[in-house]
């Protein structure tokens, strides 16, 4: 177990506060920051900025997963993320998560210094990714996703799909402390289903794993408020507060400074890590 992996485990299981994950996409076509951080120097500057603003860890992605995205080869994805991960770790001392569903990219990223895998397909596109997590003793984030938004009971169907991901991970030898779940807001769901998933997030607590919420600047906010990507901050922060009130442990965001202030205030109001004076 690397020092950063150990730190992530401590954040997840020993810390009571909400953890903030900052997003850096080394892609030309991500829906929010596509093209901004393709160059390694720009990505490093952004990493330093997000850490200074309070990011507990950074999530690096080399392929957009927005609806209608253009898939890239594993080789291209590795070429985008590996140099960036190595360069960032020379400048900042925080754990890095690799946002990928490909086992080869995950292997290259962890070899380059990343310590967490963030899989938007919950190990159900490339099941070898859990073997990579096992080999590196790395935590893995398993997200709910579907090809089409057809559900009998949204949350129960989400649980079934997530349980399948958990079983894939456990069959590879991962332990419960290495598993994080993501309800996949904005993935495989209509707008109404995204809102329903938010309302019923607390029901996923029965699965007994830390929950990550990724709603930053997404269409759930854009459609609700009829706003473009660059004007979705307040709506995003509202989703974070609502998620934390339902037990979310990690939030994945573009706007770290604002999110950090928001989750710190929520944590204090909810009494997380705060001693009561009566």
Alpha helices in the chain (DSSP H): 3-13, 40-52, 74-91, 103-111, 129-136, 154-171, 191-199, 219-225, 233-245, 256-269
Active site residues: 218, 252
Report the alpha-carbon distance of residue 91 to residue 47 in Å, rounded: 9
Report the alpha-carbon distance of residue 52 to residue 255 in Å, rounded: 12
Q: Is the dihedral of CA 88, 142, 178, 73 positive or negative?
A: negative
208 in Cβ contact with 179 (< 8 Å): no
Which DSSP symbol is given to 53? Answer: T
Residue 96 token pair: 């890095």
Which DSSP symbol is given to 202? Answer: G
Residue 130 token pair: 């859990």
Report the alpha-carbon distance of residue 19 to residue 200 in Å, rounded: 21
How big is the chain by its Cα radius of gyration, in Å?
A: 17
Report the alpha-carbon distance of residue 95 to residue 248 in Å, rounded: 20
Residue located via tokens 């935590």? 139
Report the alpha-carbon distance of residue 25 to residue 30 in Å, rounded: 7
Residue 83 token pair: 């140099």
């Amino acid at each position: 177990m690397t020092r950063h992996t150990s730190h992530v485990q401590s954040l997840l299981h020993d810390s009571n506060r909400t953890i903030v994950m900052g997003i850096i996409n080394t892609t030309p076509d991500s829906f929010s920051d596509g093209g901004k951080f393709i160059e390694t120097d720009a990505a490093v500057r952004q990493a330093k900025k997000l850490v200074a603003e309070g990011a507990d860890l950074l999530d690096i992605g080399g392929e957009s997963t927005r609806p209608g995205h253009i898939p890239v080869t594993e080789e291209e994805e590795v070429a985008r993320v590996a140099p960036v991960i190595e360069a960032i770790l020379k400048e900042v001392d925080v754990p890095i998560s690799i946002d990928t569903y490909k086992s080869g990219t995950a292997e290259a990223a962890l070899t380059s210094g990343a310590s967490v895998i963030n899989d938007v397909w919950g190990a159900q596109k490339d099941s070898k990714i859990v073997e990579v997590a096992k080999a590196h003793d790395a935590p893995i984030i398993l997200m709910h996703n579907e090809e089409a938004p057809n559900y009998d009971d949204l949350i129960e169907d989400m649980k079934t799909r997530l349980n399948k991901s958990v079983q894939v991970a456990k069959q590879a030898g991962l332990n419960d402390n290495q598993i994080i779940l993501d309800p996949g807001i904005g993935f495989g769901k209509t707008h109404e289903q995204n809102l329903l998933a938010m309302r019923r997030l607390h029901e996923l607590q029965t699965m007994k794993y830390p929950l990550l919420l990724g709603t930053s600047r997404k269409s759930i906010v854009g459609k609700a408020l009829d706003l473009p990507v660059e004007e979705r901050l307040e709506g995003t922060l509202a989703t974070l507060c609502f998620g934390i009130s339902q037990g979310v442990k990690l939030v994945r965001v573009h706007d770290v400074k604002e999110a950090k202030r928001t989750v710190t205030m929520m944590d204090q109001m909810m009494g997380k890590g705060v001693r009561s004076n009566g």
